[in-house]
Amino acid sequence: MSRSYLFIPGNTPSMIQSHDVYDSDAVILDLEDSVAVYDKDAARELVRSFLAAHRGNVEVFVRINDVDSGHFHRDVSAVDDLAINGYVLPKANPQAIDALAKACNHPILPIIEDPQAVLDAYAIVRHPQVKGAILGAEDLTKEMMIERTSDGIEIHHVRSHLALVCHALQKPFIDTPWTVVDDLDGLAKDASLARSLGATGKAAIHPNHVALINDLFGPSESAIRDAERILAKASETGKGAFRLDGKMIDEPIVEKARRLIAAAARYNKR
Amino acid sequence: MFVIKEVLIEAEKQELIAFLHRHNMEYEHDITYSIFVYDVDRVIATASLANNVMKCFLVIDDYKQQNVTNIMFHHLVNVLAEHGVDHYFVYTLPRNEAVFTSLNMTKIVETMNTVLLEGGRRIQDVLAQLKAQYHVSDKKKAAVIVNANPMTNGHLHLIETAARENDEVLVFVVSEDLSSFPFADRFAIIQKATAHLKQVTVLPTLSYLVSRITFPKYFLKEDQLIQDEQTLVDVLVYKEYYTKMFNINRRYLGEEPFSYNTAKYNQVLKDHLGNHIRIIPRKTFKNKAISASMVRKLIKAGKIEKIRDYVPQATFDYLSGESGKAVIEMIRSHTLGRH
Amino acid sequence: MNVTAGTYESSDCLIRLSPSTTRKVIVESIVFDQFGDAIQRVLNDTLDQYGVSAVQVECFDKGALDYTVRARLITALKRGGYIE
């Protein structure tokens, strides 16, 4: 489960080239909002050409244009035969998910960015090809004609709602990016809040935000220790279910612990 | 991530003017399109177009990396391409020339305070193509450059004088379509009126001479006084490119008794080209020097028959035809320009 | 009319296509000495791959890697109708 998802403009070779230098767990090569209309074809070709030639050790997603944009099908087919970790689908809704699922073979990360999508979040996220959800608060608040603020009170409920939906379906919930490039204190507060509400990761629009996000969304020391103890007892007892500290521990919990330790290892915390 | 926003509504235009003023730049009134570059909610740069001339580039200090200029340039080129324009120009200070040459623009001419660059096409290629299109020889020849709005006996006299004194004469007709008589018609009239002169070839100036780009002040409505430097770009383009490509060793001009600005232009030409320039007295009729502006005044006053004395048959025939009548209508209902 | 793709930004290249009866490939690069040949090869290989021979390709390179050069050329070829 990735902690950070860095958006990289799909028509900017200098940033694509450095995609794995920024230390994010995942990158989202963007064909949508960061690419001007007159460059959509160029971005598509550049991303395709790049992916055909390279693989780093970060997760690579491609944000295609939305289903009604006129670029949708060309975007999908440009990269469908390549080794990507999935598509990021903006302006997601149940019909759009169906359309994308039909057209492609990769996992889907929908961006929930309008009120109806928030209300339909469960239907969107439960689709078998959907592997999580990203909150798009900028577009959501613009759609609702409300102000997007730094303490995020206006999206508080939405964050909780999506966190619940994603946790119920056991899929990642990726928080909306922080848009004030130079305000790292603001980012820290925002990311902490999202984490405390149940977000498992956060998108970023600037490389400078990655380190903080990684720090805040990685497993905490106490969580790592708990997992270590569970695994230690598990190997000690050699049984599928056992008692630890007077409580019953069963396989799903052990599995979660294993994944957490693996993540910690990946993030060099162990 | 930078966001480009087009300047569309009046409030945005006022913001642009204020933004430029804060950085000691003027908003130029021939601007047809402008953009702002935003970093979140802060304006950090701007650039504009006056048709296909890029101008008023500004990037604030904190963001003075080449890249913002690049992004704006790329956007402007795409906007032009959307309108089918693949040839564009920029006027900039000599110290900014390198910025635009790194964008693959090439310098056309340089004066003390300004550099003119072009992109998308090169003047050498365009003029070479023009030369081939009109089958111009490599022999020495004379040139006349006229707007001819409309062609008068004065223009004919100038061309005939040049034809008498030279084996070959090129008559360049101002391509810029900012005069009452459309370019195509001015061109056709001159061709007809000079058909009897075998050594004369009529061809267009294209956008490099007496154009919005090289000599924008030529088309000013009121008789505002212009400085020498404002005619210099046009003179230098003629001197450094047209004379060489077409092997022109003489240029014929009519004397200018009326207009301060045209007299100034003639003087600058003489200063830079010396004996290459031949100034001949204006043709007169009944002691009055003939000029196109006089003819237009007569048209405006409805005295079409009187024009016969001042213009070649080709011009008069045109005025009697349908397009000519439309032009007459237009002249009578609008204020007259200088040319 | 000429067709272009790409930009003059660092790590990018600008490709300009013009009509021609034969194939002409012209490269101008900030790293011409080290990479001029490689860029020329990528351009020619790509043209071969798509079977395009009658075109003039100008490449103004600002340090683009092979996949970028290739992508910009393919984009220009598509824009100019040389390929689908």
How many other CB atoms sit within 10 Å of the CB of residue C34?
A: 8
Residue C48 within any structural domain of the chain:
yes
Helix, strand, coil share (%) of chain A residues, nearest 5? 50, 15, 35
C69: closest chain A residue by CA? A46
Domains plus CATH for chain A?
4-217 (3.20.20.60), 221-266 (no CATH)
Structural Rg of chain B based on CA atoms:
22
State both tokens at C75: 């984009």
State pLDDT tens for residues A82-122: 999 999 999 999 999 999 999 998 999 999 999 999 999 99
Higher pLDDT residue, B139 or A267? B139
Quote the pLDDT of residue A265: 86
Residue C14 within any structural domain of the chain:
yes
* Residue B27: DSSP 8-state: P
Q: Tell me which residues of chain B have a C-beta less than 8 Å from any C-beta of chain C.
A: 67, 70-71, 73-74, 77, 81, 84, 86, 102-104, 120
Task: For chain C, give the secondary structure using H, E and C.
Answer: CCEEEECCCCCCEEEEEEECCCCEEEEEECCHHHHHHHHHHHHHHHHHHCCCCCEEEEEEECCCCHHHHHHHHHHHHHHCCCCC
Does pLDDT of B83 surpass 70?
Answer: yes
Give the containing element (helix H, strand E) for B36: strand B33-39
How many domains in chain B? Answer: 2
CB contact under 8 A, C1 and B86: yes
B277, B149: one domain: yes
CB of A179 within 8 Å of any CB in chain B? yes
Does pLDDT of B224 surpass 70?
Answer: no
State pLDDT tens for residues B36-72: 999 888 999 999 999 999 999 999 998 887 689 999 9
Q: Which of B46, B71, B89 is the last residue of a domain?
A: B89
Could you give the C-alpha distances from A15 to A46, A181, B68, B299, C73, in angstroms and in order?
Answer: 12, 16, 15, 64, 19
Q: What one-letter code names the amino acid at C59?
A: C
Quote the pLDDT of residue B257: 73
Structural Rg of chain C based on CA atoms:
11
Average pLDDT (B224-249) is 87
Residue B105 within any structural domain of the chain:
no
Q: Which of A38, A39, A183 to mutate to test the interface with B (most CBs of B within 10 A)?
A: A38
How many domains in chain C? Answer: 1
B183, B275: one domain: yes
Quote the pLDDT of residue A220: 83
Residue in this structure with the two tokens 């959501």, named with its chain if needed = A140
Q: How confident is the model at residue B223 (pLDDT cuts 50, 70, 90)?
A: low
Domain interval for residue B264: 124-333
Q: Which of B71, B89, B107 is the last residue of a domain?
A: B89
Quote the pLDDT of residue A205: 95
State pLDDT tens for residues A76-89: 999 999 999 999 99
Quote the distance between the C-alpha of residue A264 and its chain's center.
18
Mean pLDDT, chain A, whole residue set: 94
Quote the pLDDT of residue A164: 98
B304, B214: one domain: yes
CATH code of the domain covering residue B295 = 3.40.50.620
* Residue B174: DSSP 8-state: P
Residue C34 within any structural domain of the chain:
yes
Residue C50 within any structural domain of the chain:
yes
Residue C84 within any structural domain of the chain:
no
Which residues have a Cβ under 8 Å from the Cβ of B167 and sit 6 or more positions away?
B139, B140, B141, B199
CATH code of the domain covering residue C19 = 3.30.230.10
State pLDDT tens for residues B257-277: 777 778 888 899 999 999 999
Whole-angstrom distance, CA of residue B256 vs CA of residue A119: 79
CB contact under 8 A, A181 and B75: no
Do the beta carbons of residue B144 and residue B171 sit within 8 Å? yes
B288, B167: one domain: yes
Quote the pLDDT of residue B335: 75
B188, B55: one domain: no
Quote the distance between the C-alpha of residue B139 and its chain's center.
27
Whole-angstrom distance, CA of residue A49 vs CA of residue C78: 14
Residue B169 within any structural domain of the chain:
yes
Average pLDDT (A31-51) is 96
* Residue B150: DSSP 8-state: T
Mean pLDDT, chain B, whole residue set: 90
Quote the pLDDT of residue B338: 64
B154, B298: one domain: yes
B268, B168: one domain: yes
Task: Please state whether B181 falls in left (phi above 0), alpha (psi between -120 and 50) or beta.
Answer: beta
Whole-angstrom distance, CA of residue C58 vs CA of residue C24: 8
> What percent of chain B has a predicted confidence (pLDDT) above 70?
96
* Residue B334: DSSP 8-state: S
Does pLDDT of B218 surpass 80?
Answer: no
CB contact under 8 A, A46 and C72: yes
Whole-angstrom distance, CA of residue A221 vs CA of residue B246: 81
Residues of A in contact with B4 (CB under 8 A): 36
User: Nearest Cβ partner of A41 from C11, C65, C75?
Assistant: C75
What φ, ψ does residue A161 adopt, rounded to 5°?
A: -60, -50
CB of A21 within 8 Å of any CB in chain C? no
CATH code of the domain covering residue B10 = 3.40.630.30
User: Nearest Cβ partner of A53 from C6, C67, C79?
Assistant: C67
Could you give the C-alpha distances from A137 to A111, A134, B247, in angstroms and in order?
Answer: 10, 9, 67
Average pLDDT (A172-182) is 95
The tens place of each residue's pLDDT in chain C, 84 residues long, gives 689 999 999 999 999 999 999 999 999 988 888 888 999 999 999 999 999 999 999 999 999 999 999 999 999 999 999 998
Average pLDDT (B227-245) is 89
CB contact under 8 A, A49 and C70: yes
SS3 of residue B336 by DSSP? coil
Residue B295 within any structural domain of the chain:
yes
> Of A117, A162, A120, which Cα lies nearest the Cα of A140?
A117
Do the beta carbons of residue A175 and residue A150 sit within 8 Å? no
Higher pLDDT residue, A232 or B337? A232
CB of A205 within 8 Å of any CB in chain B? yes
CB of A37 within 8 Å of any CB in chain C? no
Q: DSSP of A103-153, one letter per residue?
A: H-SS-EEEEE-SHHHHHTHHHHHTSTTB--EEE-HHHHHHHTT----TT-G
Residue B118 within any structural domain of the chain:
no
Does pLDDT of B221 surpass 60?
Answer: no
Q: How confident is the model at residue B288 (pLDDT cuts 50, 70, 90)?
A: confident
Residue B182 within any structural domain of the chain:
yes
Whole-angstrom distance, CA of residue A4 vs CA of residue A201: 6
Cα of B233 to nearest chain A Cα, Å = 34
Q: Which residues numbered 194-223 in B keep a CB inside 8 Å of some CB on A? A: none
B74: closest chain C residue by CA? C7
Do the beta carbons of residue A124 and residue A101 sit within 8 Å? no
Residue B96 within any structural domain of the chain:
no
Pairing relation of β-strands C3-6 and C13-19?
A: antiparallel
State pLDDT tens for residues B174-194: 999 888 899 999 999 999 999
Residue C59 within any structural domain of the chain:
yes
Do the beta carbons of residue B332 and residue B180 sit within 8 Å? no
Domain interval for residue C18: 3-79
Number of A:B CB contacts under 8 A?
15
Residue B104 within any structural domain of the chain:
no
